[in-house]
Structure formats: structure tokens, C-alpha cells
A and B are shown apart, each in its own frame.
Chain A
């Protein structure tokens, strides 16, 4: 019970802090969070005990929304549903949108993450924002920068994830920013909303892996609260190809530099 109280106190503090630092209105302007350099232990096979080093980078606070994606296709006609060349996507691209320039917000919601976009489209979107897709290591490194107040809280988080990964409801996606799951640096919803594209979604080492029960078991015994989720994400990504458009995959962008016009958190606004 106490951990729940802690969460709600923490959440209201966060909301307060967020409100103080959020740019006024302009919901389509992505907030870029500064993620400092660091290291983490991946679930991937690696040199034993060697943590993976990650340079500092910037990442969108939230996943790209239908509304933001609409702005992109408005400005880039060749990425509209009726125009996109088949080399960049399979047939399901933005399938649930009402038309090229109408997502049909009553069904999809403007603040829900855009899904049914291919890896190529996600790349192009991020490129148009002056960014790129995060690398697998950047994304996973950021995801595990969370802070838990107690072991009970950690277990609750872990159990919730197992539930979520075993049944992502693509027809009832929540709004971005709504999961209350946030890293210590302020990146939201890396768990619990949608799966997300990363630049190297099928890492080359994947070819060398036979993923049997033993390997999954080994991934799960890393003793980290994130292991289960990370191994499931990893396994899921391996079944992707760059043209797939599924309802459970959205994306967010990463950046090497904060763009001059952008707002960043952690007191780094320009």
C-alpha cells in the first residue's frame, strides 16, 4: 500500500514538474529529453560481464502521435497512404486512417501513438525532424533507467509488464504519456504503450543465436527487473522486417544534438 502512495505522490510531483517545464501548448512539438552517457547490461550475448557503453543522446519524451504523423504526411505527400511506394511498406500502412489526411480521431485519437508505419516510414519521419531512430542499445539503455522505491514496487512493475506483453490490445491503445512509466530522465512509456522501432531492430548477432528455451531462460536469469521485457522485445523485433506495419509498433525519434528550435528538458532549453 505504501508503495502505491509513493507512486501517487511521485506522480503528482512529476505532473507538477512537467507542467512547469513543458512548453506551452504546441502539442505537435516533440519534447526532447537529454539522456546522459552510461552503460547497461544487455540481454544479448556479449563479451561476458562487459557492459554496453552508450554515448549521450536526445530522445523524444513520448512516442510519435497520430497528430504529429499527420503533420508529416501533410508536408511530405510521397509518404501519404495512397502515395507511398511499395518498396517502403507492405499494404497495411496507416490502414486504420480514414483517408490520406484524416486519421479519424474519433476512432484513433490524436494523442495516441501512430502505429502501422514501416521502419522506412519511421526513419523518414525522424529524418524530417532532424533526427533518426534510436539505436537498439540507446533505446534499451534508456528504458532501464528507472528508479524503484522498493522491491515490492519493482515486482509490481515486473508483473504488470508480463501482463502487458502477453496481450497488447492494438485496438485500444492508450494516449502517449498515460502509462505513468517514466525513466529518471523523463522519457515516458517505453513500457506499456506500444512496441517501438529502433534503427537496428534485427541486430546482426541475432543471426548467430539459436533462441531456444535455454537462451530465453538465460536472458531471464540476469536478475534484472527488465530482463523479461527486454528478451520479449528482442525476440519480437527479430520477427520484424523493414516493411511491416503492425498495430502494436510505433516509434519515437532520437537526436545527436538538440535542434536549435527545440525544447529540451533537464534545464537544457536553448
Chain B
């Protein structure tokens, strides 16, 4: 019996640490989730999966090697928070010089693999007036999107009403696919992220 108690307690120990490490949530299921930690020293381009964009073109992360990438995860039926998240991404992109914009890729990846088909994403891109070169609204296999999200530290979970609880995170990847900058939250200052992108291109 002792061993059982010891065992249970040791897990409780791990757990309470975790609980302390997390900021408290008030239990409202649509509240934004904190993003997880990531290792910035490894390239995401090892993920060899194929995604499909809103133009029905296949996109592999590795294809973007050599150019800075802005990644954001969202879903189309999210009408309150996600448009802000997408606009934040646009705000970052549009703050760059036009010559720099041409060398930057934007991946807006939907984790609602059930509803956000390439056609739906096409309409979404048009509605947001973001069906522009360099921007890819992506869908893919459920497993691949979950892997990508986990690598970025983006948490999401479908709730019983079909919506998603999710982290609000804009990530900048460097030319090798490593995480260069993360901006968590909505309506955050993005100047630093913009400078980092500019620096990357200067060093090429």
C-alpha cells in the first residue's frame, strides 16, 4: 500500500508544480490558452508533411527554406478572436517594406480540419482581403496540423459546441525554420518581430 501512496504522491508532486507553473484560468472554456514552451534551436522544417493552401496548392514547410515565415494558427468559424489574430498578422506583414514583403511567407493554418477546406479558406482569404501572393491559408491532415501546432507550442482543443479553445500566438520562423520570435496575445506590439524579419533579410 505504501508504494501506491508514494507513487500517487510523486505524480501529485509533478502535477502541483505544473499547476503552479500555469497561470490560473477562470474555467471559461473559450478563454485563450497560454502557449506552451518551444525549443528555438531546432528547425520546424523537419516536419515533412504536405499541407494544402486556399489555392489548392501543396505546401511543404521545407519549401519555404531560405525565406522568413510568419505562422499563425486559427480557424474559420472563429468570428471574434481569430479575425483579430489574422489582422495582427497582417499588421506585422504590412509594417514591412514592400521589398521585404515579397520575400516573406505567411502561413495561416486552420486547426478546424473538418470545416476549413481549401474552398472555405479561399472564401475566408477573400473576405479578409488577404488572398495575396506569399499568403497561404493552410489545411492538412489532422495529425500533421496537431504536430505543427505542438512544435509551435500552440494549444487547441475542440469544445462541445464545435468551437475551439486555443492559444493566440503569432510566430516568426527564420530562414532555416527555427522559431525566431513569438508574439502571444491579441493586439500586441509587433515592432520587434518586424525588426527581426528585417535583420534576417539583411544577413542573407
Residues of A within 8 A of B (CB): 47, 78, 85-88, 119-120, 123-124, 126-127, 132-133, 162, 165-167, 199-200, 203-213, 216, 232, 235-236, 238-239, 242
Contact of A123 among B43, B143, B157, B160 (CB under 8 A): B143
Q: Which residue of A lies closest to B2 (CB)?
A: A166
B150 & A242 in contact (Cβ 8 Å cutoff): yes
Q: Which residue of A lies closest to B166 (CB)?
A: A204
Query: Cβ of B78 < 8 Å from any Cβ of A?
Result: no
Known: A85-B43, A87-B39, A87-B46. A119 touches B150 (CB 8 A): yes
B12 & A211 in contact (Cβ 8 Å cutoff): yes
- The CA-CA distance from A205 to B29 in the complex, in Å, is 8
A123 & B146 in contact (Cβ 8 Å cutoff): yes
Known: A78-B48, A235-B15. A207 touches B143 (CB 8 A): no
Q: Say which size band chain B's interface belongs to.
A: 35 or more
B25 & A85 in contact (Cβ 8 Å cutoff): no
A207 & B34 in contact (Cβ 8 Å cutoff): yes
Known: A204-B155, A207-B33, A208-B25. A216 touches B143 (CB 8 A): no
* Contact flags B2-30 to A (C-beta < 8 A → 1, else 0): 01100110011011101100101101000
Known: A87-B39, A200-B157. A126 touches B15 (CB 8 A): no
Query: Cβ of B81 < 8 Å from any Cβ of A?
Result: no
Known: A88-B46, A207-B34, A208-B27. A238 touches B15 (CB 8 A): yes
- When distances are taken between beta carbons in the complex, the residues of chain A under 8 Å from B34 are 207
Q: Which residue of B lies closest to A167 (CB)?
A: B3
Q: How far is the CB of B197 from chain A (nearest CB, A)?
A: 22
Known: A200-B157, A208-B25. A238 touches B18 (CB 8 A): yes
Q: How far is the CB of A202 from chain B (nearest CB, A)?
A: 8
B42 & A86 in contact (Cβ 8 Å cutoff): yes
- When distances are taken between beta carbons in the complex, the residues of chain B under 8 Å from A133 are 143
Q: Which residue of B lies closest to A208 (CB)?
A: B25
- The CA-CA distance from A207 to B33 in the complex, in Å, is 9
Q: Which residue of B lies closest to A132 (CB)?
A: B143
14 contacts between A and B (CB under 8 A): A47-B160, A78-B48, A86-B39, A86-B42, A88-B46, A123-B143, A126-B143, A132-B143, A133-B143, A167-B3, A199-B143, A204-B155, A216-B8, A236-B11
